[in-house]
Amino acid sequence: ETGVTQSPTHLIKTRGQQVTLRCSSQSGHNTVSWYQQALGQGPQFIFQYYREEENGRGNFPPRFSGLQFPNYSSELNVNALELDDSALYLCASSLTAGSYNEQFFGPGTRLTVL
Amino acid sequence: DQQVKQNSPSLSVQEGRISILNCDYTNSMFDYFLWYKKYPAEGPTFLISISSIKDKNEDGRFTVFLNKSAKHLSLHIVPSQPGDSAVYFCAASANTGTASKLTFGTGTRLQVTL
């Protein structure tokens, strides 16, 4: 059974650029959530996708957007990058949506915005 | 507004002794609580969870206690081992019927010494 994978591992961008991060969910999981973890903080919920639809969103501006594909893999897109977007971006998959499902995390993508 | 708080940034415990990690929450809608462990350069790994209908859940060396009236939970690790050295995150979710959004604390760094 393959766990959650993310690509790329590291990324360096400059202010104003756009970035796409990718996530493959664990086999059998149809729900993917994205989190942002700034240095010294806990992960912050960005949004969740369930069966290709956005299923909930945290306090992030619209320049953070996402997609989920029929195979349940997912992308996180960030437009007009700002310095404060520098963080570890974590993807988590769960068997399905709903509160009582453990979320299994990938290793993350470290984004640096210069 | 920090709805999940881990007030101890770090904890040092001798090998073989008990480690107790604490977590407080403010949102009374939270009804499912999880602990994750995170090593550097890896994503958080699910450890143990508890729903609000229970006050204790055990899994091997790990036990989570929930005190709903005090809005407090704790993770006990007995006996502590050097491999337990990591950052531990407490997380909580509310049953909204849709997205299983996790709200994380800021983490406690546990160091188990020989």
> pLDDT tens across B58-78, in order?
999 999 999 999 999 999 999
Percent of chain B with pLDDT over 90: 87
User: How many DSSP H helices and E strands does chain B contain?
Assistant: 0, 11
Contact A98 B103 (CB under 8 A): no
Quick one: which of A33, A43, A40, A41 has its CA closest to A4? A33
**Chain B window 36-75: which residues touch A at a Cβ cutoff of 8 Å?**
36, 41-46, 49, 51
Position B99 pLDDT exceeds 80: no
Q: State in Å, rounded, how far the first CA of chain B is from the last one.
A: 38
Please give the average per-residue pLDDT across B13-42, as a whole number.
95
Residue by residue, pLDDT tens for chain A (114 residues) are 679 999 999 999 999 999 999 999 998 899 999 999 999 899 999 999 998 999 889 999 999 999 999 999 999 999 999 999 999 999 999 988 776 778 899 999 999 999
Q: What letter represents residue B78's amino acid?
A: V
